[in-house]
Amino acid sequence: MLTAPGIRALRPAEKPYKRFDEKGLYLLVTPTGSRLWRFKYRYRGRENHLALGAYPEVTLREARDKRDAARELLRNEVDPAAARRAQRNAGINDLKAIAIEWLDKRDNLAPITRGNTLGQLEANVFPYLGNLPIAEIDAAEILRALRRIEARGHHETAHRVRQRLSQIFRYAVATGRASRDPTADLRGALRPIVTRSRSAITDPQRVGQLLRSIEAYPGYPATRLALELLALTFVRPGELRLATWPEVDLQEGVWRIPGERMKMKREHLVPLSRAAVAAFRELLPLTGHRSLIFESLRPGRPMSENTVNMALRGMGYAGDEMTAHGFRAMASTLLHEQGWPPEVIELQLAHAQRNQVAAAYNRSARLEERKRMMDQWADYLAALRGGTINVIAYAKEK
C-alpha cells in the first residue's frame, strides 16, 4: 500500500511508471513529474481506467474515497466512467453530448458497432451540428450535413447517418430535451441506394476452381483453413475469425456460436461435417493452446477482418468477384438449386425469422435435417473440387 511519505519520495523516470495502492487504485508517475491517480477496474468483461485527479491536489485519503465510490457504482452494475460522463452532460443539451450519452446507454451494441457508429458521427455530424442545442436543430440543417456525405459518393453512409440521427433525436425526445425528430421530414430527400448483390461465385464449375485455388493456397495455413471453413460452414466472417476453441465440440461435431457474437443475438448451432471437423483438427497444432482459433500473429488478437479478402485477391479473385461474405451467397444459391427446403437453408444461415415461436421450434426440430444438409454440402464441394461431379445431373437428382 502507498503512504504519503512514499508518494512524496517518488521521482520521475524516462518512461511513465505505476505504483499500486490496493483495490485497483494506483499512481501514475510521468516523466514530467506529474503524479496522477487512476482506478483500474473491469466492467462487463472489459478493462477500464478512471482518472481520479493529481497528487497532491487529491490526497491519498481522497483518492481512496473516490475509488471506494467508484467500486460502489460497480457493485450496482454501473460503469463509473459512464456515470461521470452522464454527470458532466447533465443539463447539457447539445447534439454531441446527447449522442454520446445515447451510445453509452446502448449496452447491446457490439464494441465494433459502437466504434463504427461513433466514427461516423465524429466524421459526418459533430463538426457541423455537434455543438448546436438539439432542440433547435431543424431538418434543413441535418440535410446540409447529409449532402456533404452524398457529395463524396457515400450514399449508403448518408442513409445510415440519418437513421442514427433519428435514434438520437428520439432518445432526446424521450429524455425531455427535444420535442420531435426532424429527420422524419427527410423521407425521400436523400438519393436512393443502388442495391448490389454481395460479390460471390455461384457457378458450380467456377466454385470447383475456387476450391482448388484454396487447396493450393501457399500462405499461412490458418488462412487457408479459414477459407475452407467459410466454404464448409458459410458462417459470417466475423463469427469465424472470433471463434474460440471452447465453442467447438469436435467429438459431437457441432460449433455453438454464442448469442453475443450473432447478428440476431441468439446462440447459433453449426453442424460440422467430417471435412469441417478435419479442418478444425488441422488447426489444433497451430492455435489449440490458445483460446482464439484464428489468432493473428499478435498474440491475443483475432485474425484481421481483411485477411481472408486479401488471400482471395492474392489468388486472383477481384473484390467484385468473390469476398469472404460471398461464401454465404454461394451456399445459399447452390443449396436452393439443389432443392433443399428454404427454411432449412435460412436457419443454417442464421437469418431472422418473423415468427419467433417457429424460430425457437425450428432451431431444435430441424437440426437433424441441417446436419444431413451440411454433410451433403461438404460432399458436394469435395466433388466440385475434384471435378468428379455432373452438376446438372446432381441438381436433377436433388
pLDDT digits (tens, 9 = 90+) for 296-346: 878 888 998 899 999 999 999 988 899 999 999 999 999 998 888 888 898
- 84 falls within a domain: no
Residues 246 and 384 in one domain: yes
**243 falls in which pLDDT band (50, 70, 90)?**
very high
**117 falls in which pLDDT band (50, 70, 90)?**
confident
Domain of 146: which CATH number?
A: 1.10.150.130
Count of other CB atoms within 10 angstroms of residue 92: 13
pLDDT digits (tens, 9 = 90+) for 179-207: 899 999 998 899 886 545 568 999 999 99
- 146 falls within a domain: yes
- 86 falls within a domain: no
pLDDT at 371 over 50: yes
Residues 131 and 263 in one domain: no
Mean pLDDT of the chain: 87
143-152 long-range contacts (CB < 8 A, ≥24 apart) are 143/186, 143/189, 146/186, 146/190, 148/124, 149/124, 150/190, 150/191
Cis peptide before 56 (omega within 30 of 0): yes
Residue 326 confidence (pLDDT):
93
The set of cell numbers assigned to 263 is: 447478428
- 308 contact partners, CB below 8 Å, separation of at least 6: 223, 226, 227, 230, 237, 241, 324
Cα–Cα nearest to 398, from 333, 343, 337, 345: 337
Cα–Cα nearest to 303, from 205, 217, 225, 392: 225
HSE-CB for 333 with a 13 A CA cutoff: 15
Domain of 58: which CATH number?
A: 3.30.160.390
Residue 263, SS3 per DSSP:
coil
Evaluate whether 3 touches 63 at the Cβ level (below 8 Å): no
**357 falls in which pLDDT band (50, 70, 90)?**
very low
- 284 falls within a domain: yes
The set of cell numbers assigned to 39 is: 482506478
Residues 36 and 115 in one domain: no
95-99, 338-342, 381-385: range with lowest mean pLDDT: 338-342
pLDDT at 122 over 60: yes
Residues 182 and 233 in one domain: no
36-50, 155-169, 193-207, 371-385: range with lowest mean pLDDT: 193-207
Residues 247 and 346 in one domain: yes
Residues 34 and 117 in one domain: no
The set of cell numbers assigned to 139 is: 431538418
pLDDT at 110 over 70: no
Cα–Cα nearest to 329, from 212, 240, 198: 198
pLDDT at 17 over 50: yes
- 323 falls within a domain: yes
pLDDT at 356 over 50: no
Cα–Cα nearest to 271, from 297, 235, 239, 314: 235
Residues 107 and 70 in one domain: no
Residues 285 and 390 in one domain: yes
- 85 falls within a domain: no
Residue 298 confidence (pLDDT):
80
207-211, 278-282, 354-358: range with lowest mean pLDDT: 354-358
- 195 falls within a domain: no
Evaluate whether 312 touches 200 at the Cβ level (below 8 Å): no
Higher pLDDT, 357 or 14: 14
Strand ordering across the sheet containing 254-257: 248-249, 254-257, 268-271
The number of distinct structural domains making up the chain is 3
* Alpha-carbon span 225 to 220, nearest angstrom: 9
Residues 129 and 215 in one domain: no
Task: Note down the domain range covering 23.
Answer: 4-79
* Alpha-carbon span 247 to 266, nearest angstrom: 14
Question: Where among 186, 218, 242 does a domain terminate?
Answer: 186
> Which residues are tagged catalytic?
236, 263, 325, 328, 351, 361
Average pLDDT over residues 268-282: 95
Query: pLDDT over 90 for what percent of the chain?
Result: 61
Question: Where among 24, 44, 79 does a domain terminate?
Answer: 79
Beta bridge partners of 50: 39
* Alpha-carbon span 362 to 350, nearest angstrom: 11
pLDDT digits (tens, 9 = 90+) for 384-397: 999 876 654 454 45
Question: Where among 19, 53, 79 does a domain terminate?
Answer: 79
Residue 365 confidence (pLDDT):
47
Residues 239 and 366 in one domain: yes
Residues 221 and 356 in one domain: yes
What are the start-end ranges of the H helices in the chain? 4-8, 60-75, 80-89, 95-104, 111-124, 126-129, 139-151, 155-174, 204-215, 221-233, 237-241, 274-287, 307-314, 326-337, 342-349, 356-365, 367-386, 391-397
- The torsion defined by the Cα of 148, 153, 158 and 159, in degrees rounded to 10, comes to 150
Average pLDDT over residues 144-166: 91
Residues 125 and 162 in one domain: yes
* Alpha-carbon span 175 to 178, nearest angstrom: 8
pLDDT at 229 over 60: yes
- 48 falls within a domain: yes
Residue 91 confidence (pLDDT):
58
Residue 8, SS3 per DSSP:
helix
* Alpha-carbon span 95 to 86, nearest angstrom: 14
The DSSP symbol for 295 reads B
